[in-house]
Amino acid sequence: MADLARDGDVELAMVAAGDGEILGHILYSDLGVVVDGRPVRAVALAPVSVRPDRQGQGIGAGLIRASLDLLRERGGEAVVVLGHAAYYPRFGFSAALAAKLQGPFAGDAFMALELVPGALAGHVGSVHYARAFGL
Ligand SMILES: CC(C)(COP(=O)(O)OP(=O)(O)OC[C@H]1O[C@@H](n2cnc3c(N)ncnc32)[C@H](O)[C@@H]1OP(=O)(O)O)[C@@H](O)C(=O)NCCC(=O)NCCS
């Protein structure tokens, strides 16, 4: 995360707090996405984490939903995540939508979400992660 910040590649970071303590955190970094030659304003979701003793109480879902709303308000078009295939679809992420995006990842855990309907419409695309990921 420090390397992402050093490079100026953090698009959004949020924390969930309660009882004066940080309970969870989410971060989005800039992501280069092109679909059928068209640049898409996209970000990568990673990481999201909730304090182990507070997991399973909706804190992660709250962070994800609030941050997606903020990204949409800021004009973001799409989000990509590499994560638990059983968790992210409830927020609208889809592996089928990400399948056209060529990059370092593929498969059920590689998912995408359109913040603007049709943002990822097209035939072929590519993703380029921020330099700090070393991919
Ligand atoms: C994943 C994580 C951020 C979810 O936050 P949370 O506040 O615990 O989640 P919520 O309370 O909003 O939602 C709970 C749901 O998440 C699911 N979940 C949690 N960890 C999961 C995992 N590893 N795989 C699949 N589902 C998972 C639970 O099964 C539960 O599902 P249910 O609603 O169908 O019962 C949190 O568990 C965490 O920090 N895990 C460790 C770090 C991590 O794996 N980060 C994600 C990297 S992609």
Looking from the CA of residue 83, the nearest atom of ligand 1 is 48
- The CA distance from 78 to 38, in Å, is 13
- Prediction pTM value: 0.95
103 lines ligand 1 (CB under 6 A): no
In whole angstroms, how far apart are CA 83 and each of 8, 39, 48, 94? 24, 24, 10, 11
For position 1, what pLDDT does the model report? 87
Using 50 as the pLDDT threshold, list the residues of the chain that sit under it.
none
- The CA distance from 104 to 66, in Å, is 28
For position 110, what pLDDT does the model report? 98
Judge: domain 2-133, CATH 2.60.40.4070: no
| CA-proximal residue: ligand 1, atom 39 (nearest) | 49
| CA-proximal residue: ligand 1, atom 23 (nearest) | 84
49 lines ligand 1 (CB under 6 A): yes
